[in-house]
Amino acid sequence: MSSHREAPAISRDPVADNTDLYAFVSPDDPGTVTIISNYIPLEAPFGGPNFFEFGPDVRYRINIDNDGDGDANVIYEFAFETTVANADSFLYNSGPILSLESANWNRRQSYSITRISRGRSQVLAENLACPPCNIGPLSTPDYDMLASEAIHSLPGGRTVFAGQRRESFYVDLGSIFDLGNLRPFENLHATFGLPSLAAAPGVNGTDNFSVHSIALKVPKADLTRRGSTPTNASSPDSVVGIWASASRQTATVREPWSGSVHDAGEWMQVSRLGNPLFNEVLVGMGFKDL
């Protein structure tokens, strides 16, 4: 399911904007479930020198409801930290990044993952490395290798990755938001008195854009209500509801005398993605931010 820039407020806060959520039984490991939650819509690959990154002031969550009441029974929470090696350099990297330990990489991110269930928080891992952004053939000549290095095995048979990936959601955004003028049928579309248009092939509007993905593979027993590995698809124990979210703290203060920013207070959900396109197309413009 997918919703990019679905409401005015979240479109002004892209690092917290859930764009896509995928959840499926892992084809390579049927005893596990893979959940992919994407954020930051429509990242242009050339968006430097300050390339895209997760918000260190955002808490990202993958939420699991395993008893059908709409409340999360299992939560995986991700918190990111940014490290700058050379504060005097404006560059993201000063040479090719050939490994995640590269001294040429000036600005990197790491993260922790915490599992919350039954009121108990368990830190599964800390200081996990993200890959750099995929910058180009000089800076990241072997991006697949860098991305592979950023796949981490966790206790309990879990696997996690967090970082930039190519957007895989196929959609002709340009024609959809041009009054629903889908290109293959635009010769049949109402033209509001304008000259008629010829039919044309669809265009993948998100092609060659990226997102930031949090990909998590966990054993089925990590998610189910009784911690079992269900085998009967029609059993209630086999059913889970999954949604992803992003939260920010209640208050943000920008100090005029120091230029620093302080966040304080409870974490408040500012983005959620569960049902496809709910807020994007079912909720009126005046109510989307509520």
Partner 1 sequence: MSDSTRRAFVKNSAVAAAGMTVAGALVAEQADAKAVATSGPVVAYVRDPRTGEISVMAGERQVRLKDRKLAARLARAAR
Q: How many CA atoms lie within 13 A of 227 on its CB side?
A: 3
Q: CB neighbours of 86 closer than 8 A, spacing ≥ 6?
A: 94, 106
Choose between 253 and 281: whose C-beta lies nearer to partner 1.
253
Instruction: In angstroms, give the least distance from the CB of 202 to partner 1.
Output: 34
Q: Does 253 bind partner 1 (CB under 8 A)?
A: yes
> Can you tell me the distance from the alpha carbon of 94 to that of 247, in angstroms, rounded to the nearest whole number?
33
Which of 233, 264, 282, 285 lies at the binding interface for partner 1 (CB under 8 A)?
Answer: 264
Q: Does 283 bind partner 1 (CB under 8 A)?
A: no
- Residue 39, SS3? strand
Q: Does 285 bind partner 1 (CB under 8 A)?
A: no
Draw the binding track, 7-46, toward partner 1 (x: CB under 8 A; -: no contact): --x-------------------------------------
> 165: closest CA among 207, 134, 140, 129?
134
| Strand ordering across the sheet containing 32-43 | 18-25, 32-43, 210-219, 158-166, 152-154
Rounded to whole angstroms, what are the CA distances from 27 to 24, 163, 217? Answer: 8, 22, 11
Choose between 252 and 275: whose C-beta lies nearer to partner 1.
252
* 290 close to 17: Cβ distance less than 8 angstroms: no
> 92: closest CA among 81, 102, 107, 109?
107
Peptide bond into 137 cis (omega under 30): no
Choose between 7 and 146: whose C-beta lies nearer to partner 1.
7
Q: Which two tokens stand for residue 108?
A: 């990197």
* 205 close to 174: Cβ distance less than 8 angstroms: yes
| Strand ordering across the sheet containing 59-65 | 120-129, 107-117, 74-84, 59-65, 241-254, 261-273
Instruction: In angstroms, give the least distance from the CB of 289 to partner 1.
Output: 6
Instruction: In angstroms, give the least distance from the CB of 15 to partner 1.
Output: 17
Instruction: In angstroms, give the least distance from the CB of 290 to partner 1.
Output: 5
Token look-up 């920008």 returns 254
Choose between 78 and 209: whose C-beta lies nearer to partner 1.
78
Which of 221, 270, 280, 283 lies at the binding interface for partner 1 (CB under 8 A)?
Answer: 270
Which of 19, 66, 139, 247 lies at the binding interface for partner 1 (CB under 8 A)?
Answer: 247
Instruction: In angstroms, give the least distance from the CB of 118 to partner 1.
Output: 15
Choose between 126 and 178: whose C-beta lies nearer to partner 1.
126
Which of 250, 275, 277, 281 lies at the binding interface for partner 1 (CB under 8 A)?
Answer: 250
Rounded to whole angstroms, what are the CA distances from 61 to 72, 112, 214? Answer: 10, 12, 9
> Which part of the chain contacts partner 1 (CB under 8 A), choosing from 48-56, 98-106, 228-236, 246-254?
246-254
Which of 4, 59, 158, 183 lies at the binding interface for partner 1 (CB under 8 A)?
Answer: 59
Choose between 234 and 258: whose C-beta lies nearer to partner 1.
258
Binding site for partner 1 (CB under 8 A): 9, 59, 61, 77, 247, 249-253, 262, 264-270, 272, 289-290
